[in-house]
Every structure is written in C-alpha cells, then in structure tokens.
Amino acid sequence: MAEDEKKELNAADKARLRAGFDLDWRRELRRSVPVKERLKIGRLKMPERPAGERNLDFAEVNLGLAPEAAREEARRCLDCANPLCVTGCPVAIDIPGFVKLVEAGRFAEAARKLKETNSLPAICGRVCPQETQCEEVCAVKKAAGMAVAIGNLERFAADFERSSGAVDIPPVAPPTRKKVAVIGAGPAGLTVAGDLAKLGHDVTVFEALHEAGGVLIYGIPEFRLPKAILKAEIDYLRRLGVAIRTNFVVGLTATIDDLRDQGFEAFFIGSGAGLPGFMKIPGENLVGVLSANEYLTRVNLMRGYDFPVHDTPVPRARTAAVIGGGNVAMDSVRTAKRLGAERAVIVYRRSRAEMPARVEEIHHAEEEGIEFQFLAAPVRCLGDERGRLRAMECLRMELGEPDASGRRRPVPLAGSEYTMEVDLVVCAIGQSPNPLIPQTTPGLKLGKWGNIEVDWATMATSLPGVFAGGDIVRGGATVILAMGDARLAAARIDAYLGR
Amino acid sequence: MPRVLDRRRLVPNLHLIEVHAPEIAAKCRPGQFVILMPDEKGERIPLSVADWDPGRGSITCVFLVVGTATRKLAALKPGGEIPVFVGPLGRPSEIANFGTVVLAAGCYGIGALWPAARALKAAGNRVVALLDAKSEDLLYWKDRYLSVCDKVLYSSRQGGDQGPGEFIPGPLEEVIKAEAPVARVMAVGCTYLMYVCARATRPPGIKTIVSLNPIMVDGTGMCGACRCSAAGKTKFACVDGPDFDGHEVDWEELFARRQAYAGDELRSLCRYEEIELP
C-alpha cells in the first residue's frame, strides 16, 4: 500500500546537513578523535530493569543512558560527510548534527536540533524501529559491526531537555489567521499540528477519544512509553499554539464539510488504522477473545491495570495466547504477563526470523518469560456452556515459497491439530483503516483496502485542501512513517494555504 | 467539560440526564447514542439518546442504574460537569412511511424509542406503542407517547385500567393481530425484551428492528468489544448498528457477551458503594 521508502534526500535537506557539517566546532570535534579510535569503542547497552522485576509492573523497562555514557556512545559516530543514516530516517533528522552536540556535551542544543525536524523525539527515541532505519545503514555498522545507538541518543537528548525543565519553544511565525483542522491526535496528526503551528497557522486537532495521542496513548503500553512523556510532548504542542479538541468525532459530531463552513481552509486526516482485524475462525466471539486494540485500550487509555481504582475491567488470564508476531502482539503478551498470567504465549504462524516485531521487543519478551509457539495458527476457539473461552485449537505450519511480502508463506500441516487450554486470546493480526471518515466524506477517493488514496508526492487526497497520512493511508505501519507523511503533508498544506 | 443541565429520577432506578452538547444536538438522529464517562476514573459507557434540543443545545438520555458508571451518573447534580460526552454515534434508525409500526419499549427503551416514535409519526406512519412497566408508578413519558401515537397500550402493568398485566410476547402478539397488517416492529429495552419481541414476530414474518446494547469501549469501531453476530456475520454494534434486524441476531452470543465482566462489575460496584458513594 505504501510507496517505497524515500531514500534520496532533497536538495534543501542536503544543504541543511552540509551547513552543519562545515561548522568549525564540528570539524574540530571530528579531528579530536581519530576514526580508528572511534571504531574501537563498543556500542553501549541501554540499562534496563531486571526482567524478573519489571514483568510484575507497568513501569518503564529501559532506563536511559547516563550523560557520560551518552557522550561515549556519541563518540562512536564518525560524522560522515554523506550521512547514510539520514536517508534511513522518514523525517530526515540531522542525525550527525544532534549526535555531535551530544558528544560535545551540549545536550539541550541536541534536543533543539532534533525538534527542528521531529516534534516528538522522546517518543521516537523509544518506539522507532531504528535497527531497520537509520541504524541499519549506519557507516559504523558496516565498519565495526554495531551501529551507533542513534535511537538511544535521541531518547537521551529529549529526556535531558524535559527533565532539565527548560523545554525550549522555538520561534513561531506571525499568525496567518488560516484555520487548519487536523483529524486524529495520533503521531501523524500531532506532527502536522506542530509543523503548521510553527508556521503561524491556526491549528485545531480533533480527537475522538478523551485523551490525545492516538496509538501512543491507547496502544503502546506504559512500560514502553510512559504517559508522562507523551503528556509532556503534547504540552509542548499546546505551547506552540495548537488547540486540541478531544471527544469530537469528525464524520459524526461534524463532517469535513461542516468544518469547512466554520472557516477551516485545509484538512489533514490522520485517523489511523482503527479497525481491528479478526481471524475469521469459529468461536471468535466467545467471551475472552479480544482484539489487541480492545485489550490494550482497556489497559492503557482506561487504566484497566489499576482496576478497581479505575472502573474499567480487563480480563486477567491464567493462560493468555496472543496471535501475531508484530510489535502490537509483543505489547499485548507482555501486558498479559504483567497482569498476572502464569503463561503468556505468542502464537505465530511463521518462524522467528519472519517476525515483524522489533528485535528489542522480542528480546525483552523472551527475557520476561514469554513463551513462543512458532509455525502455529489457530483454527478455532472452544467455549464452555456459558459462552466463555476455555481452549484454542491450532494447526502446525511449515514454511513454503515466499509470498508477495517476500516472507516465506506458512503452509498448514495436515492432521497436526493440537489444543491448548487458554482463558484469554488476544488477536494482534493487524488493523485496517478506520472507515468513519471515508464513509462520511463524499468524494474522497479510496484504495482497495478502504485506505484513503493520496498523491505520494504531496499527500493530497482527491478533495481540494484535504491531505492525509499515516495508517489511514498506509493500513498498519509505524509511528515514524506516519510522522514522515505528516511532515511532507504539513509542507504542502502550508504551500496550499499560501496560494 | 460538558455541563449537566438536568439529572433527575423519572421512576425508581431510572434517571434522566440532560447534558449541554450543542454540536451533538445539532446532528443527532433517532436511534443514535452517545458514549460518556461519569468521572475521570469511570468507564466509557454507551447510552441511547432519548431526546435533543438544538435550541438549548442539549442531549437527553434515560438510563437504568445497574453498575458503577450509572450509579455515578445518578449522583450527578444539575450544574455539575461530565468529562466525556461524545456523539452522536452509530447509524440512525431507518425512518420512512412503512404503514403501521408497533413500538415495543420497556425500561430505558421507553426513552430511547421516543425520538423514533416522533419521527415515524411525522413520516406518516400509523404508530402504535406498547409500553412495558410493572406498574403505573414505574411508567414514564406516557404523555409524550400519547401526544404522537395513534394508540398507546401497556404490558406487564398490574392494577391499571389498560393492559393485560402480562409481559411480552402475549400483549405484542395481540397488538399485531389487532393492527394487522403491521409493517414493522421496533423493540428497545433490556436484551430479554428485545429477544422475546424478535421471537414473537418471527412466525408472522414481521420485520423487527432492535437496538443492541453490547459492552463498548471507544464506540467508533476501533476496538471490537461490541461485536455481535447478525445473519451469521460478525458486526460492530457501534458502527454497523446499533439497530439490527432482530430475526438475524445471535441472541445467545449477545447474552453471553453482555456478561463478560459480570464479576468485575459487581466488585467495582461494591467497592464504590462501600468506599466512594457520596
């Protein structure tokens, strides 16, 4: 659904990187430690809480780098003249620029450098799949085997700024008095809002739920992304002048046409992939079978882990099976463990090598005592006389020829059925674009998965002044790809408003 | 935060809440619902819209006190605030000139069906209401129904001047015979009432619309908590409904799914009554 990653930087980005590269202090810093010495430094491991302690609560797993450790890690970066890492970043962060500021001990400036291109660095530093993006193409990885820990450094710089209490508000352009409506307060919407507010536009974000953040608040658990960090990033956007209206469902509370009548001139739809997929197997509607969206929303947004202090209950399982192999599956299974499951099991139809989850998440899950059943797929859920789940029947698979995604296709092994006793099944097999906006916006052109079609060069939809990005366009992708779409859309919305 | 304009007890255990929500009031149609949270720690629950007033900018719901969320709502006072009140959600009821329409309502459903009663009459139907209540004292909004319906009948009511004192299906079957041909039935109330109505109208083949009431979380199609089966297909009551053809609904599944958190709900309510009740 998504177009190929954009690997070529545009001329403006190249010039921006070059200007930083040529600064005197950067030149001196490069000379101060020879490349050979830099390559000798080993990659620092992010400190984390012991697995046996952290799998009992919801506090954050990773502890962040100490300042000296961060400077040491930053020293590993060679400050390449043609930094490949930037081409691996969907929002083209000036990675050497901020990393060298860390090396120089200028941490607050490093955070500001990040925020030039990324309004939410504390979040991206935690949830981006750096190992398949910036860190995958890092020159140090090629030369010495281990990439510079760019994600850990991003997180460090953003956390340093926040904990220092001196979060800088960049200069905001004079008001243009142009009203922009952003639909959905997830990663895409928040990014568009931040970029356009900095350009002086009058931005309102409309959010259906009662808290801003989208998947960052309802989906990603506290142990991976503390809510206090999200809240700080959203406060930062508010200070930039962004208005956020929660409890407002665009399409139902007001349509895009209604908002146009109220004076909004441009729109960005970032309403996400909020339509959970189910397995379409018998017994799927038994009590005890939940979508990952529901399970995680109950725990995260509704604070179900704190039931009965918070009123929303969440199933507490003895044996929880989570179907799927992505990050959402890892979040769900680790949540089940933390809620007291004796066995929390991933059931995935391919093998470990094909799992789409981040390596770090799989690794953390293993440490925390999560079981993995590879090459297995559920065929039906079995219930008791009260309609409650008691077991799941699975079929073993083997890997056949590669499919369209390039991964080897799982092929069922006839007669290999087996049954496992479970009292919770969480379905984390992907989501489709939420149909609410497409259904209520006449003339909006859709793709074959119900996604909104855009011109990839501009993120413009088929309707004038209406742009879209993130999972409503891509189906189910990542936070950072949504933010990449958003940055491009923001630039084009600014151009559109300037006509 | 939305302001509570009114909150009062209609009859024991059934309350009315009117909330200032001008945008929802400007958009609302019969059959739609809102999702609300009674306080910051509360659960998100759906309530059918029982009335709206674009002039006052208000939405009115009628609710039965059953668990913690509704207990908290019943404790709200006019002038108070409610942190979450979002809508209008769900697809509106189908309103057209069908001919004769029988409305079977009980409990909160008497409130929830009122907008459809008004709209069906305005669309030219002969509208016959069958209101279910154990006694005259437990009946509310009779005057409203009398003001638009061609006939208002009662079931279950003991000691009243009208009605057989018997629960549906008997009274519904009699109305269907007396009013033949009945083009459609709409039934709203507890799950059992809707189930019984749908069962009673199956043999004569009268299309029967029910407003399903499964557990919901977000109410916009994002979580799938409210899934139910209709005509053998899984549907989300929040975005595909809440109205469904009662003859197509898998009632057994709905009953079971509504009980999904029964133990937790009881625990929560006990805790609220013992620790937090004002």
Contact between A287 and B239 using a beta-carbon 8 Å cutoff: no
Would you tell me how many other CB atoms lie within 10 Å of the CB of residue A392?
A: 28
Residues A439 and A425 in one domain: no
**In sequence order, which residues have a C-beta less than 8 Å from that of residue B23 and are 6 or more positions away?**
A248, A253, A254
Say how far apart CA B198 and CA B208 lie, in whole Å.
Answer: 6
- With 0-12 / 13-18 / 19 or more C-beta atoms within 10 angstroms meaning exposed / middle / buried, residue B249 is buried
B86 interaction partners in chain A (CB closer than 8 Å): 208, 210, 247-249, 253
Fold designation for B4-89 = Elongation Factor Tu (Ef-tu); domain 3 (2.40.30)
pLDDT of residue A53: 92
Tell whether the model's pLDDT for residue B212 goes beyond 70.
Answer: yes
Contact between A311 and B42 using a beta-carbon 8 Å cutoff: yes
Contact between A293 and B257 using a beta-carbon 8 Å cutoff: no
Judge whether A287 is closer than 8 Å to chain B, CB to CB: yes
B238 interaction partners in chain A (CB closer than 8 Å): none
| Residues recorded for chain A | 499
Tell me which residues of chain A, numbers 349 to 378, contact chain B at a CB-CB cutoff of 8 Å. none
- Comparing A35-39, A308-312, A366-370, A481-485, which segment has the lowest mean pLDDT? A481-485
- Comparing B5-19, B104-118, B128-142, which segment has the lowest mean pLDDT? B128-142
CATH of the domain at A84: 1.10.1060.10
Residues A415 and A444 in one domain: no
Q: Name the closest residue on chain A to residue B90, using Cα atoms.
A: A252
pLDDT of residue A7: 63
Judge whether A232 is closer than 8 Å to chain B, CB to CB: no
pLDDT of residue B58: 98
Q: What is the pLDDT of residues A150-164, one digit of tens each?
A: 999 999 999 999 998
Domain end call among A385, A408, A429: A429
- Measure CB to CB from residue A311 to each of B68, B89, B229 and give the nearest one: B68
Give the count of domains, chain A: 3
Residues A418 and A449 in one domain: no
Residues A24 and A160 in one domain: yes
A288 interaction partners in chain B (CB closer than 8 Å): 260
Q: What is the pLDDT of residues A186-208, one digit of tens each?
A: 999 999 999 999 999 999 999 99
pLDDT above 90 as % of chain B: 90
> Mean pLDDT over residues A99-128, rounded?
93
Q: How far is CA A483 from the centre of its chain?
A: 9
Q: How confident is the model at residue A434 (pLDDT cuts 50, 70, 90)?
A: confident
With beta carbons less than 8 A apart as the criterion, state whether A455 and A350 touch: no
> Mean pLDDT over residues A157-183, rounded?
90
Q: How far is the alpha carbon of A250 from chain B, nearest alpha carbon, in Å?
A: 10
B227 interaction partners in chain A (CB closer than 8 Å): 278, 285
With beta carbons less than 8 A apart as the criterion, state whether B125 and B212 touch: no
Q: Tokens 């809240």 correspond to what residue?
A: A231
Say how far apart CA A292 and CA A323 lie, in whole Å.
Answer: 9
More confident residue, B15 or B158: B15
Tell whether the model's pLDDT for residue A143 goes beyond 50.
Answer: yes
Range of the domain at A184: 179-271+433-497
Domain end call among A383, A402, A429: A429
pLDDT of residue B167: 87
A252 interaction partners in chain B (CB closer than 8 Å): 27, 87-89, 220
Contact between B234 and A278 using a beta-carbon 8 Å cutoff: yes
Structure tokens at A428: 């984390």
pLDDT of residue A6: 46
Judge whether B266 is closer than 8 Å to chain A, CB to CB: no
| DSSP-assigned letter for residue B81 | B
Q: What is the pLDDT of residues A83-109, one digit of tens each?
A: 999 999 988 999 999 999 999 999 999
Q: In which residue ranges of chain B is CATH 2.40.30.10 found? A: 4-89
Say how far apart CA A401 and CA A130 lie, in whole Å.
Answer: 29
Residues A62 and A129 in one domain: yes
pLDDT of residue B136: 83
Residues A468 and A418 in one domain: no
Judge whether B91 is closer than 8 Å to chain A, CB to CB: no
Residues A189 and A145 in one domain: no
A2 lies in a domain? no
Q: What is the pLDDT of residues A456-491, one digit of tens each?
A: 999 999 999 999 999 999 987 888 889 889 999 999
Q: What is the pLDDT of residues B132-165, one digit of tens each?
A: 998 888 899 999 999 999 999 998 776 555 556 7
CB pairs under 8 A between A and B: 117
Fold designation for B95-210 = Rossmann fold (3.40.50)
**CA atoms within 13 A of residue A309's CA, in its CB half-sphere:** 4
Tell whether the model's pLDDT for residue A366 goes beyond 50.
Answer: yes
Tell whether the model's pLDDT for residue A4 goes beyond 60.
Answer: no
pLDDT of residue A448: 86
Tell me what the pLDDT averaged over chain A comes to: 93
pLDDT of residue B160: 56
pLDDT above 70 as % of chain B: 97
Query: Do strands A389-402 and A418-421 pair parallel, antiparallel, or not at all (unpaired)?
Result: antiparallel
Q: At what angle do helices A95-103 and A150-164 cross, to 10 degrees?
A: 60
ipTM above 0.90, yes or no: yes
Structure tokens at B169: 């299906």
A172 lies in a domain? no
Residues A289 and A408 in one domain: yes
Say how far apart CA B179 and CA A212 lie, in whole Å.
Answer: 52
- With 0-12 / 13-18 / 19 or more C-beta atoms within 10 angstroms meaning exposed / middle / buried, residue A208 is buried
Classified as helix, coil or strand, B103 is strand
Q: Measured at the alpha carbon of residue A398, what is the angle toward residues A1 and A427, in degrees to the nearest 5?
A: 55
Residues A229 and A365 in one domain: no
Judge whether B68 is closer than 8 Å to chain A, CB to CB: yes
Q: Name the closest residue on chain A to residue B233, using Cα atoms.
A: A280
B24 interaction partners in chain A (CB closer than 8 Å): 253
B234 interaction partners in chain A (CB closer than 8 Å): 278, 284-285
Domain end call among A404, A429, A454: A429
Contact between A302 and B88 using a beta-carbon 8 Å cutoff: no
Tell whether the model's pLDDT for residue A420 goes beyond 50.
Answer: yes
Please provide residue A97's backbone torsions phi and psi, each rounded to the nearest 5 degrees: -60, -50
Q: In which residue ranges of chain B is CATH 3.40.50.80 found? A: 95-210
With beta carbons less than 8 A apart as the criterion, state whether A478 and A91 touch: no
Residues A143 and A99 in one domain: yes
Residues A441 and A423 in one domain: no
> Mean pLDDT over residues A391-420, rounded?
92
Q: Name the closest residue on chain A to residue B260, using Cα atoms.
A: A287
Q: How far is the alpha carbon of B54 from chain A, nearest alpha carbon, in Å?
A: 13
In 3D space, the residue among A37, A42, A91 whose CA is nearest the CA of residue A478 turns out to be A91
Residues A247 and A287 in one domain: no
Q: What is the pLDDT of residues A25-84, one digit of tens each?
A: 999 999 999 999 999 999 999 999 999 999 999 999 999 999 999 999 999 999 999 999
Radius of gyration over alpha carbons of chain B, in Å? 18
CATH of the domain at A439: 3.50.50.60
